[in-house]
Amino acid sequence: MDKVVVSIGGSILVPGENDADYISELAGMLKGISDRVQLAIVCGGGKTARYYAEVGRGLGGDTYQLDILGIGATRLNAQLLSLALGDMPDTVPTTAEETADRSEPGRIVVMGGTVPGHTTDAVSMMVARELGACRVVNATSVDAVYTDDPRVNKDAVRIPSMTITELGDIVYKEHGASRSSVFDPLGVRIAAECGIDISIVDGRNLTELRNAILGEPFSGTSVSSR
Ligand code: UTP
């Protein structure tokens, strides 16, 4: 059975509108395919993480402390998805190793962040490395990787498939400008080193997300690392 890790952005999971409906449908879809792929899910922090970071910054928090607040938000989101899956532990796994240890066919393990200094995209890649997963599906708020920011440049072209080296060229360049990138540069490095493919898909489109998780053709960007 294929092992697949899903990195699901907090902005997808809890944008602040009909969140219970979406999380419940997502959980139903994941459970429905859990006999076909062995799944581990890593949840991002979204709005909650950004809000706590903003308030923490106002209180004089340093980068390390703001990251700790962000990690707290990712774990809260992981608890929500665990609740919807009907298996909410008192604490979610705090390391990639713990998630890999708890993972088994038919059991969906959900976690958030680990330690300061990276994002949950990187965590999802660490889990994939531990598990020996063939791909990480990045369920995000953009529907694909583009040649430029499509919100700013109307000539930006959608890229249906690319190599990990090409994705690296984009994220290493972007990372100089801001911390927000299409995929965490550390995650891209691990994917390249370990030969783990990345599928980037609109996480609100559950049909395409399901296709991407199952390794079937999907609308989004396929990043090949092999
Ligand atoms: P996210 O993974 O949601 O990061 O973690 P992000 O890139 O800001 O979110 P998206 O992808 O745009 O939705 C939220 C914050 O939590 C901290 C970081 O500060 C991150 O920005 N964090 C998270 C860590 O320090 N370590 C982790 O393992 C995870």
What is the residue-level pLDDT of the chain in tens, covering all 226 positions? 999 999 999 999 999 999 999 999 999 999 999 999 999 999 999 999 999 999 999 999 999 999 999 999 999 999 999 999 998 989 999 999 999 999 999 999 999 999 999 999 999 999 999 999 999 999 999 889 998 888 888 898 999 999 999 999 888 876 654 445 788 999 999 999 999 999 999 999 999 999 999 999 999 999 999 8
- Domains of the chain (ranges plus CATH)? 9-224 (3.40.1160.10)
| Cα separation, 152 vs 131, whole angstroms | 38
CA-angle at 56, arms to 54 and 204, nearest 5°: 45
CA of 207 to the centre of ligand 1 (A): 26
- DSSP H helices, the chain, are 10-13, 19-33, 46-58, 63-84, 96-102, 120-131, 164-177, 185-194, 206-214
Phi and psi torsions of 140, nearest 5°: -130, -175
pTM above 0.85, yes or no: yes
* Amino acid residing at 129: R
| Cα separation, 11 vs 76, whole angstroms | 13
Residue list, ligand 1 pocket, CB within 6 Å: 9-11, 44-46, 49, 66-67, 70-71, 74, 113-120, 123, 180
